[in-house]
């Protein structure tokens, strides 16, 4: 198993991987984002914090039912570089258990560090627990205080190329509002929207055993 960090997928797949992080906020724009994707029969990867799953178990189950890939975003959304090795393991393992309890799938092997804050120690500890860091090659900017749908769509559509891993957030109304515009344009370009596994050219990792 390769546990080296991923920041970019395989351009030859023709896929742009849209990923949505769910930290400690409420359900946010998740229902809206999921509805847009459902209408188009598209699947993405959601990086879920255990805290978010605990507060949104129905949305978590619906993500799975809709065919999305569920991955790990820690439990309490801390800066992992400030935690001890044992605390890092707890954040990832406990979240995996929370997702399993809620939806019946595991999150291994994909995790994304909150705030993108990681260092070699964090990556080594995570790898020892069976997790591979998924960073991103394109930041949508949807987390910025003044983010607008127009700005999010413009940034993604200006820079996205096949193989990209794009980071967005379920808490962002701007991302939800921008999504149809983004999907329409990517479709026009002949690019497919997919999951992290798909853009890496790997079989889906989430298992129900």
Contact present, 152 and 119 (Cβ < 8 Å)? no
Residue spans per domain, the chain: 11-199
Active-site residue flag, 169: yes
pLDDT for residue 156 is more than 50: yes
Could you confirm whether domain 11-199 is CATH 3.90.1150.10?
A: no
Question: Among the options 21, 93, 142, 164, which is catalytic?
Answer: 21
pLDDT for residue 206 is more than 50: no
Active-site residue flag, 73: no
Q: Concatenate the DSSP letters of all residues of 160-191 into one string.
A: --TT-EEEEETT-HHHHHHHHHHHHHHHHTTP
* Arithmetic mean of pLDDT over the chain: 95
Question: Among the options 85, 169, 187, 209, which is catalytic?
Answer: 169
Helix (H, G, I), strand (E, B) or coil at 69: strand
pTM of the model: 0.96
Phi/psi of residue 11, each to 5°? -60, -30
Contact present, 57 and 69 (Cβ < 8 Å)? no
- 100-131 pLDDT, tens per residue? 999 999 999 999 999 999 999 999 999 999 99
pLDDT recorded at residue 38:
98
């Amino acid at each position: 198993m390769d546990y080296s960090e991923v920041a970019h997928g395989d351009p030859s797949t023709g896929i742009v991987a849209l990923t949505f992080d769910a930290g400690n906020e409420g359900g946010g724009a998740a229902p809206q984002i999921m509805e847009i994707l459902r209408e188009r029969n598209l699947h993405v990867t959601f990086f879920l914090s255990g805290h978010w799953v605990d507060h949104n178990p129905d949305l978590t189950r619906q993500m799975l039912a809709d065919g999305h890939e569920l991955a790990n975003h820690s439990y309490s959304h801390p800066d992992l570089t400030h935690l001890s090795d044992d605390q890092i393991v707890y954040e990832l393992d406990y979240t995996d258990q929370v997702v399993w309890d809620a939806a019946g799938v595991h999150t291994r092997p994909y995790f994304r560090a909150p705030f993108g804050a990681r260092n070699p120690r964090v990556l080594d500890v995570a790898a020892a627990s069976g997790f591979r860091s998924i960073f991103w090659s394109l930041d949508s900017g949807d987390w910025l205080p003044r983010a607008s749908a127009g700005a999010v769509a413009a940034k993604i559509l200006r820079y996205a190329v096949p193989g990209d891993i794009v980071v967005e957030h379920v808490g962002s109304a701007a991302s939800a509002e921008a999504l149809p515009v983004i999907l329409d344009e990517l479709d026009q370009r002949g690019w497919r929207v997919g999951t992290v596994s798909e853009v890496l050219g790997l079989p889906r990792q989430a298992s129900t055993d």
